[in-house]
């Protein structure tokens, strides 16, 4: 069994963790069970079996499987403690169990952690946000003879909330009427904002940026606050019946900071006493958000700040965590600022729209965003979002692909995570990096003409050390590169490009299997948002690839077919913007209304 998996890996083929788990739990002979204590003191059990290991290579592979499983549990559920139940007479298994604190660096300072230890940084920050100084994680090794699952159901809903039939979602569109509201969708390559006033979708704004390149917290915070001021002015003019005075140049995608500042000055002067604050702001932010605070800090967006030796990252990140307080300057005295991760925002947006269509959302909603990275969202039927990290983009799904593991993480051919250097994580599989990696893997031999065109256009560039990258400076080519490969896949004449998106679909099916194993949400379907699903032909290819692996998996694209509320219908009819682009920004408008009394 292990030899078969290692043979796949050496051929540079993926070895999916879900396949390994199924085989080991079926044919393994040694118990190695995990029990995790969650933040609310509930427990979840994950019974596991490990096999006989005949040599060092097999032992290393089993280690990678175990560490990946623990890493996926902590990345999604977080927790206070993990107990390992195994045979104390088996020296190999006992050594494996006792290696976990060192491998995950549970007693190492945040700044010194690497690899598997990075998920501990997020977990520590969540524990601090929930429990203050008393929050401390621990591993514990126990005798397998003490293993019990009674009352500790792996399938239990981790949110602790009872379903309410989805009525909260149906009530929000009416609650949003007659108010001035702002929705903000922060991404890895752009920020999208929508403002509603007078019962209409008043203005939209898109702003390109590259937060991973920011070395100072001000570079991240200042543009967001400037955009909020800009949108406030435009929304106030719209509400006051002075729409003709809105500075449309300042709202253009490529408007400079100076043009936006000048537009704000002109619009503020035109408003005079008509200037007012928003009733609510909803914020979708690409990081872990717990109790309305950004608490993660380990995603790629903060790489520049983490790598800046001149600054204390924890002090810098604390200012990002305080973004909600800064946004409160722009809401009324009894107004609300409501924040969540971009994944839950996608799920929330879908739930609101489908409730408006009369669909059953009594099981809540589960969604992914496929863009710069993979976002994951889970919202309960009562509108609540489980207080867990849910960093599914960090999941390790591939224990093989040994050749691609040999490339440095910035190389598009690499399966190594840019933040942690761990191989096989979803960051390099289901989002734009996955498209780039598969293009670099298949096209040189299978469609060299397209590959050479990508090089000629500067979408791929060869580096001095024989690497291959998509440049982000002086011009960020990531969007252009993705659009290029999507166009080639969609035109029907480039089979190798089409295969890229089928394989992305296969990765999504593995993602579904892993989230079912760990989270088991009541909602079985997955709604997909982001640039990877905006081309219908590419989405069809992804569905085809997914259903080859999991025939019963239902994937839905968040496009114009999702427009049922008033604001979303207006967006769908807009001549310049699309639902695929701005759906989460509109969803953020409704999310902000959750905080209104």
**Burial status of residue 29 (CB atoms within 10 A of its CB: 0-12, 13-18, 19 or more):** exposed
- What local confidence, expressed as pLDDT, does residue 527 receive? 86
With beta carbons less than 8 A apart as the criterion, state whether 345 and 390 touch. no
Strand pairing of 138-143 and 289-290? Answer: unpaired
Distance, in Å, from the CA atom of 109 to the CA atom of 273, rounded to the nearest integer, reads 52
Q: Decide which of 203 and 365 is more confident.
A: 203
**Burial status of residue 71 (CB atoms within 10 A of its CB: 0-12, 13-18, 19 or more):** buried
How many Cβ atoms sit within 10 Å of the Cβ of residue 208?
12
What are 80-135's pLDDT values in tens digits? 999 999 999 999 999 999 999 999 999 999 989 999 999 999 999 999 888 887 78
SS3 category, 580: helix
Per-residue confidence at 158, pLDDT binned at 50, 70, 90?
Answer: very low
In order, the DSSP letters of 69-101 are: HHHHHHHHT--SEEEEEE-TT-HHHHHHHHTHH
Token readout for 522 is 């009541």
With beta carbons less than 8 A apart as the criterion, state whether 192 and 581 touch. yes
With beta carbons less than 8 A apart as the criterion, state whether 176 and 590 touch. yes
- What local confidence, expressed as pLDDT, does residue 162 receive? 39
Which residues, in sequence order, are CB contacts of 275 under 8 Å at separation 6+? 232, 233, 236, 268
With beta carbons less than 8 A apart as the criterion, state whether 230 and 278 touch. no
Give the CA radius of gyration of the chain: 24
**Burial status of residue 307 (CB atoms within 10 A of its CB: 0-12, 13-18, 19 or more):** exposed
- What local confidence, expressed as pLDDT, does residue 154 receive? 42
Mean pLDDT on 461-469: 94
321 half-sphere exposure, CB direction, 13 A CA radius: 19
- What local confidence, expressed as pLDDT, does residue 362 receive? 86
Residue 575 is classified by DSSP as S
Backbone angles phi, psi at 345, to 5 degrees: -65, -35
In order, the DSSP letters of 467-478 are: -EE---SSS--H
What are 31-78's pLDDT values in tens digits? 999 999 999 999 999 999 999 998 999 999 999 999 999 999 999 999
Distance, in Å, from the CA atom of 352 to the CA atom of 172, rounded to the nearest integer, reads 7
Cβ density class 159-168: b for 16+ within 10 Å, e for less: beeeeeebeb
Backbone angles phi, psi at 44, to 5 degrees: -125, 135
With beta carbons less than 8 A apart as the criterion, state whether 192 and 584 touch. yes
Per-residue confidence at 371, pLDDT binned at 50, 70, 90?
Answer: confident
Sorted by where each begins, the domain ranges of the chain are 2-146
What angle (nearest 5°) sits at the alpha carbon of residue 389, between those of residues 99 and 83? 35
Percent of the chain with pLDDT over 70: 97
With beta carbons less than 8 A apart as the criterion, state whether 238 and 230 touch. no
Which residues, in sequence order, are CB contacts of 89 under 8 Å at separation 6+? none
- What local confidence, expressed as pLDDT, does residue 164 receive? 42
Strand pairing partners for 281? 182, 337
With beta carbons less than 8 A apart as the criterion, state whether 543 and 500 touch. no
| H or E segment and range at residue 124 | helix 118-131
Distance, in Å, from the CA atom of 226 to the CA atom of 208, rounded to the nearest integer, reads 14
Per-residue confidence at 156, pLDDT binned at 50, 70, 90?
Answer: very low
Ranking 18-27, 317-326, 461-470, 478-487 by mean pLDDT, the lowest is: 317-326
With beta carbons less than 8 A apart as the criterion, state whether 379 and 348 touch. yes
Distance, in Å, from the CA atom of 383 to the CA atom of 51, rounded to the nearest integer, reads 43
CA-nearest of 391, 398, 392 to 65 is 398
Residue found under tokens 């090089």: 455
Token readout for 216 is 């100072």
SS3 category, 468: strand
Per-residue confidence at 157, pLDDT binned at 50, 70, 90?
Answer: very low
Residue 506 has pLDDT above 90, yes or no: yes
Distance, in Å, from the CA atom of 7 to the CA atom of 20, rounded to the nearest integer, reads 13
Residue 159 has pLDDT above 60, yes or no: no
What are 208-246's pLDDT values in tens digits? 999 989 999 999 999 999 999 999 999 999 999 999 999
- What local confidence, expressed as pLDDT, does residue 165 receive? 43
SS3 category, 474: coil
How many Cβ atoms sit within 10 Å of the Cβ of residue 210?
17
Residue 531 has pLDDT above 90, yes or no: no
CA-nearest of 314, 319, 308 to 125 is 314
How many Cβ atoms sit within 10 Å of the Cβ of residue 456?
9
């Amino acid at each position: 069994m292990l030899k078969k998996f290692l043979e796949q890996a050496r051929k540079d083929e993926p070895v999916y963790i879900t396949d390994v788990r199924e085989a080991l739990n079926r044919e393994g002979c040694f118990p190695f069970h995990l029990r995790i204590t969650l933040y609310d003191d509930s427990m979840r059990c994950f019974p596991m079996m490990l096999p006989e290991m005949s040599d060092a290579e097999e032992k290393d592979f089993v280690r990678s499987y175990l560490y990946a499983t623990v890493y996926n549990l902590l990345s999604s559920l977080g927790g206070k403690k993990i107990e390992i139940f195994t045979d104390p007479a088996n020296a190999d298994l006992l050594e494996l169990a006792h290696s976990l604190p060192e491998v995950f660096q549970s007693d190492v300072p945040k700044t010194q952690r690497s690899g598997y230890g990075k998920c501990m940084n997020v977990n520590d920050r969540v524990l601090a946000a929930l429990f203050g100084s008393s929050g401390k994680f621990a591993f514990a090794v126990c005798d397998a003879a003490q293993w019990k699952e009674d009352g500790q159901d792996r399938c239990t809903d981790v949110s602790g909330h009872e379903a309410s039939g989805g009525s909260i979602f149906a009530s929000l569109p009416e609650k949003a009427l007659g108010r001035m509201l702002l929705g903000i969708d922060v991404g890895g390559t752009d920020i999208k904002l929508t403002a509603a006033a007078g019962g209409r979708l008043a203005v939209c704004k898109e702003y390109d940026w590259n937060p991973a390149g920011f070395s100072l917290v001000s570079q991240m915070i200042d543009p967001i606050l400037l955009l909020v001021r800009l949108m406030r002015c435009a929304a106030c003019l719209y509400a006051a019946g002075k729409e003709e005075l809105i500075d449309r140049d300042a709202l253009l995608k490529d408007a400079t900071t100076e043009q936006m500042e000048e537009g704000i000055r002109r619009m503020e002067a035109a408003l005079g006493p008509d200037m007012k604050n928003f009733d609510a702001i909803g914020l979708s932010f690409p990081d872990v958000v717990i109790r309305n605070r950004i608490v993660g800090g380990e995603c790629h967006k903060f790489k520049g700040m983490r790598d800046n030796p001149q600054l204390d990252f924890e002090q810098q990140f604390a200012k990002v965590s305080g973004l909600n307080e800064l946004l409160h300057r722009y809401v009324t005295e009894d107004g609300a600022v409501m924040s969540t991760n971009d994944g839950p925002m996608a799920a929330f947006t879908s739930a609101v729209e489908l409730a408006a269509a009369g669909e059953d959302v009594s099981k809540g909603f589960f969604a992914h965003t496929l863009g710069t990275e993979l976002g994951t969202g889970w919202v309960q039927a009562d509108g609540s979002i489980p207080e867990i990290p849910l960093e599914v983009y960090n999941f390790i799904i591939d224990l093989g692909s040994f050749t691609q593991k040999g490339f440095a993480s910035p190389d598009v051919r690499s399966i190594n995570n840019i933040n942690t250097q761990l191989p096989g994580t979803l960051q390099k599989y289901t989002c734009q990096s996955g498209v780039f990696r598969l293009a670099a893997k298949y096209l040189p031999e299978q469609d060299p003409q397209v590959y050479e065109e990508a090089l000629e256009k500067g979408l791929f560039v060869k580096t001095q050390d024989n690497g291959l990258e998509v440049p982000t400076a002086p011009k960020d080519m990531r969007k252009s590169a993705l659009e290029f490969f999507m166009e080639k896949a969609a035109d029907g004449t480039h089979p190798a490009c089409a295969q890229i998106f089928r394989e992305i679909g296969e990765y999504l099916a593995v993602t579904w299997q892993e989230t079912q194993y760990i989270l088991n949400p009541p909602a079985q379907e997955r709604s997909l948002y982001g640039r990877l699903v905006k081309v219908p032909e590419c989405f069809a290819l992804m569905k085809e690839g997914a259903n080859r692996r999991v025939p019963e998996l239902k994937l839905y694209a968040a496009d114009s077919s999702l427009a049922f509320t008033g604001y979303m219908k207006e967006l769908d009819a807009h001549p310049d913007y699309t639902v695929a682009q701005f759906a989460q920004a509109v969803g953020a408008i409704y999310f902000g209304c959750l905080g209104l009394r």
